[in-house]
Amino acid sequence: MPISHEGINPMWVHLRASPSARYEAGRAQRDTVPLEVHAEVAADTGRPDPLPILAQQDNSRLAELIPLRYGRMSRSPFTFLRGAAAVMASDLAAGPRTDLWVELCGDAHLGNFNWYHAPNRDLVFDLNDFDETLPGPFEWDVKRLAASTFVAARNNGFSRKKARAATRSALRSYRESIAESSEMSPLDLYYYRFESRAALERIDRHGKKLKKWKKEILRDAVRRNSLRAFKKLTAVVDGRRVIVPDPPLIVRVDEQLAAGESGGVEAFFEKYRESLPFDRRVLIDRFSLTDVAKKVVGVGSVGMRCLIVLLEAGDGTPLFLQFKQAVASVLEPHLGASAFEQAGQRVVEGQRLIQATSDVLLGWARWQGEDGQPLDFYFRQLWDGKGKIEVDDLGPKELAAFAGLCGKTLAFAHARSGDAMMIRGYIGDDETFDDIMVEFAEHYADLTKADHALLSEAIDDGAIEVVRDI
């Protein structure tokens, strides 16, 4: 049942029904969309060529960074999958779907789950990328998580048995956590946080040998903060603190723009400020804009306009913000336009709905582009305790443990915006759903391998220009 961002969502009204009625309503979905159909993947016959889908996205990106985007995507099938959310959205739209809608992350691959600081400064584990968020069928996120786990396992040289085991870990955790969340009261669910201690205790279940790895995760997360970014990314030049260029990854913004003249950064920043709640405006007003630079981020986001902003309080306390371009979600051609006309607001509102606890400085603003076309952006803090997992470095036990954390996190994200009891009724309490999704993941991993080969062939033929090793 489709979600509406505005007004009363019909599914939320249904939440007022008894748990047993909601469970049976979810179970009844099997009559129209049997579980086993989810093992299917897009057929080769009639399936759109993935490369034109990717090329269409280039229209909204900076031309000089497009070769870098394809260079990063070409590294492996896993990096291809990370950058090909639009391709997978097209494939999912061509397959079966339920009416069990949630606020989708829209890009729930393994690389988009991280540790970060909650407002109380404790570390929590959660989804941390919402560029594609949109209401849609819950299983689309589950399939992307499952496929990314299998592709990552294969990419790391795992046997088929171990790849399936890692993928099953994510799915089992999702199913068990949907059941757990379905028993929680609405208030308990709202207040639930997947704190770092609980996440690391789950890692312990996979063996004490992972103890060193989990300590390294926490240490790195705690160290990634504005102060570290301040030391790493800035220097004093001619008596002024500035962001140090590192082309093409970090490029200084020209002086005219940095000076905040007509249409410049300061006016744009004021629009962002107006999107904040009053108490956050009071907080941000303690800081002064010091410097701005362009920054390249991620894999799928390469080519999108992204800037980092250095602010300083009167006592010298640094604050780094990142503002990143937002465009229509890759899901919108298949699920309908967002209720939010401003794409940056779509990202922020979706993030607040999905995450257990969000950055207090989330906001959005619109920039008037040089060609007169509006560009939408959202703001967030840079490096606010972000504990990033390098999936390429994980062994079988580590990947299975991490995938399990992701499965649990995704389940609670879905429970916050949808009906966990209905989803539980649909997927059941046994391993049938797990088995089916593992089959899907393996088939989609084959498809991703073939798509990556197409990209590599186009690069070798000179049809696509790339910049590698950056």
- The tokens for 186 are 């609405």
pLDDT for res 228: 67
Which residue pairs from 459-463 have beta carbons closer than 8 angstroms and sit at least 24 positions apart in sequence?
459/70, 459/74
- The tokens for 198 are 């609980």
Q: Which of 381, 409, 442 is the last residue of a domain?
A: 381
> Residue 85 is part of which domain span?
15-222+386-460
Q: Residue 377 pLDDT more than 50? A: yes
pLDDT for res 95: 93
With residue 289 as reference, give the H or E element that holds it.
strand 287-295
Output the pTM of the full model. 0.90
Q: Does 126 lie in the same domain as 48? A: yes
Task: Tell me how crowded residue 289 is: count the other CB atoms within 10 A of its CB.
Answer: 16
**Mean pLDDT over the full length of the chain:** 87
Task: Examine residue 359 and state whether it is found in any structural domain, yes or no.
Answer: yes
pLDDT for res 408: 94
Percent of the chain at pLDDT > 70 equals: 85
Q: Which of 354, 381, 408 is the last residue of a domain?
A: 381
pLDDT in tens, 230-264: 778 888 888 788 888 888 788 877 554 444 444 46
Pick the most confident of 24-38, 222-236, 298-312, 381-395: 24-38
Q: Which of 52, 104, 142, 111 is nearest to 300 (CA)?
A: 111
> How many Å apart are CA 193 and CA 222, to the nearest integer?
18
pLDDT for res 328: 95
pLDDT in tens, 313-367: 998 888 889 889 999 999 999 999 999 999 999 999 999 999 988 889 999 999 8
pLDDT for res 154: 97
pLDDT for res 220: 64
Task: Tell me how crowded residue 205 is: count the other CB atoms within 10 A of its CB.
Answer: 9
Q: Does 377 lie in the same domain as 390? A: no
Q: Does 375 lie in the same domain as 262? A: yes
Residues 6+ apart with CB under 8 A from 96: 33, 37, 38, 40
| Residue 263 or 212, more confident | 212
pLDDT for res 16: 72
pLDDT in tens, 170-205: 999 999 999 999 999 989 998 888 776 666 666 666
β 101-104/134-137 pair status: antiparallel
> How many Å apart are CA 311 and CA 287, to the nearest integer?
6
β 250-252/318-326 pair status: unpaired
Q: Does 151 lie in the same domain as 124? A: yes
List residues bridging with 325 in a β-sheet.
Answer: 377
Q: Which of 381, 413, 441 is the last residue of a domain?
A: 381
pLDDT for res 258: 46
Task: Examine residue 289 and state whether it is found in any structural domain, yes or no.
Answer: yes
Query: What amino acid occupies position 13?
Result: V
Domains contained in the chain, number:
2
> How many Å apart are CA 265 and CA 258, to the nearest integer?
6
Q: Does 186 lie in the same domain as 314? A: no
Q: Does 134 lie in the same domain as 63? A: yes
Task: Examine residue 9 and state whether it is found in any structural domain, yes or no.
Answer: no
Q: Does 372 lie in the same domain as 257? A: yes
Q: Residue 121 pLDDT more than 90? A: no
Q: Does 230 lie in the same domain as 211? A: no
